Amino acid sequence: MALALRPSTSTSSSAPSLSTQRRRRGAATVAVYSRAPRRPVFRALAAAATVATPTPGRHPQLALPPTPTSVADAMSRTRAKGKLNQGFTIARAQTAFIPYITAGDPDLATTADALRLLDGLGADVIELGMPFSDPSADGAVIQASAKRALAAGATTDAVMAMLKEVTPELSCPVVIFSYFNPIVRRGTASFATAAKEAGVKGLIIPDLPYDEVRAFRKEAIKNSIELILLTTPATPADRMKEIAKASEGFVYLVTDKAVAVGFGISTPEHVSKIAEWGADGVIIGSAMVKQLGEAASSREGLKRLEVYARSLKDALP
């Protein structure tokens, strides 16, 4: 279930300044990258949680969806875990924890262990980058990570084979972040089928041509994969409506108004502040990738990833 949000902003002198260099992935019902995040004030037009009738002396129970079977389910379930205010009303929806790592960096065995680790730490959705030789929408850290993964032999087939073994063990959905070129080389129908067989629930293609959306979405729907699209404030209104309608799980909205922040997040303080703003999700990419990519060994990298990811997850309400 996707929530429609109407954001507005009010300035706050205490808001941290998170630098923005490039469009990066964000996730939430509506994901936004911000040059100078402001405190958002928004009204949810739909609710994802219900609260049982209170019983004196007892806290009511939230009616939660079952274990997520899709990205949309995961986002709805996360919102339904909102904190209770005085035991009776939801103070705010819980903010989704969405880590990003690159497949095959430093190797696919470590990636498999990292997926299990992040799932065990309570990730709500995991974004997995498919390494590509020209990752133009990424910054230097993820570009270097993709280069290491390719040098280590990470191919699309190898990544899919690894996912096919690991995803049945995970309780959260995996979303692949892939550029369009590798998909075209393999064939859109073949790629979508392989992704389904690998247990992938969502797909983000940052450079997907608008004219290709309709055809590729058919393949995605056929294989029960949520195609997550991007849009910007410069996009014509009619086209933006089409993109929002076609996108599933959430929409990537690249703008200067923060609703859910997916760039420049690296500390527990950042995560906590963004949750206070009422963000639907917080996405950690480059800072997460560094834990594996800059370690002296795979074992050290996984340990660093565990400590770092736990510190961010614990900072969320």
The alpha helices in the chain, defined as continuous H runs, are: 71-80, 108-120, 140-151, 156-166, 180-186, 188-197, 210-222, 237-246, 268-276, 286-293, 298-315
Amino acid at 229: L
* Calpha distance 292→68 (Å, rounded): 27
Checking phi first, is residue 249 left (phi over 0); if not, alpha (psi -120 to 50) or beta? Answer: left
d(CA 251, CA 256) in angstroms, rounded, equals: 15
Q: Which one of 138, 219, 226, 248 is the catalytic residue? A: 138
Three-state secondary-structure class, residue 258 = coil
Among 105, 107, 119, 127, which one carries the catalytic annotation? 127
Residues 6+ apart with CB under 8 A from 5: 29, 30, 42, 43, 44, 45, 259, 280
Q: How far apart are the first and last CA of the chain?
A: 22
Residue 86: both structure tokens together: 């005085």
**Contact (CB, 8 A) for 97 and 91:** no
CA distance 82 to 144: 37
The sign of the CA dihedral 3, 69, 122, 104 is negative
Q: What backbone phi and psi angles, to 5 degrees, belong to 157?
A: -60, -40
Q: Is 306 a catalytic residue?
A: no
Say whether 138 is catalytic: yes
SS3 84: strand
- 315, HSE (Cβ side, Cα atoms, 13 Å): 21
User: Known catalytic residues?
Assistant: 127, 138
